[in-house]
Amino acid sequence: MSNIRITKQFSFETGHALYGYDGKCKNVHGHSYKLSVTVIGTPITDKTNVKYGMVIDFSDLKKIVKEEIVNVFDHATVFNKNTPHIELAKELEDRGHNVMLVDYQPTSEMMIIDFAKKIKNRLPEHIDLHSLKLQETETSFAEWFAYDNI
Ligand SMILES: Nc1nc2c(c(=O)[nH]1)N=C([C@H](O)[C@H](O)COP(=O)(O)OP(=O)(O)OP(=O)(O)O)CN2
Ligand SMILES: [Zn+2]
């Protein structure tokens, strides 16, 4: 049976700030992120299986990515907890804002590494994460490929 890639696309609105950065993105601002998730596997051949002919049900992939990423990052502001931004984050949290503290600089590159780990941990054994594409703006995106990270 052939290996087939399956892709599902997501979008979420997230704020962030790059502490110590030498450009305008050191300021708190936000993006309409677009995330494409591609998994690879062989379609199920068992005709009695309700998922017959599918690598993975798009709905099951959606559930994983929504629970791990979209529901967590959407309308949250992400700060690197290892910087003085922790103070700003605490202040915003105390005032009822949705803040997310991460252990890294929240660039597209570092976010996509985090997303890859989270999605891989949730995929069924017979399905592999092939690649991710995280689009920050119309002209800027990061990509993660499994074969770059063996
Ligand atoms: N390698 C990276 N560079 C930058 C990142 C990043 O995550 N990785 N992030 C930012 C900012 O957060 C923001 O995304 C600005 O990006 P940029 O493409 O510079 O945005 P512009 O609005 O200026 O884009 P144009 O389409 O060129 O107007 C900065 N760098
Ligand atoms: Zn940005």
Task: Quote the ipTM score.
Answer: 0.92
126 is in an annotated binding site: no
Domain of 22, CATH number, reads: 3.30.479.10
pLDDT in tens, 72-97: 999 999 999 999 999 999 999 999 99
Centre of ligand 1 from the C-alpha of residue 140, in Å: 6
16 is in an annotated binding site: yes
Q: How many helices (H) and strands (E) does the chain have?
A: 4, 6
Centre of ligand 2 from the C-alpha of residue 116, in Å: 20
The pLDDT of 47-54, averaged and rounded, is: 98
Look at the chain and report how many structural domains it folds into.
1
pTM of the model: 0.96
Kindly state the tokens that stand for 108. 């597209």
Quick one: pLDDT at residue 1? 81
User: Considering 13, 67, 75, 126, which one is annotated as catalytic?
Assistant: 75
Domain that holds residue 34: 4-148
**Cα–Cα distance, 98 to 95 (Å, whole number):** 9
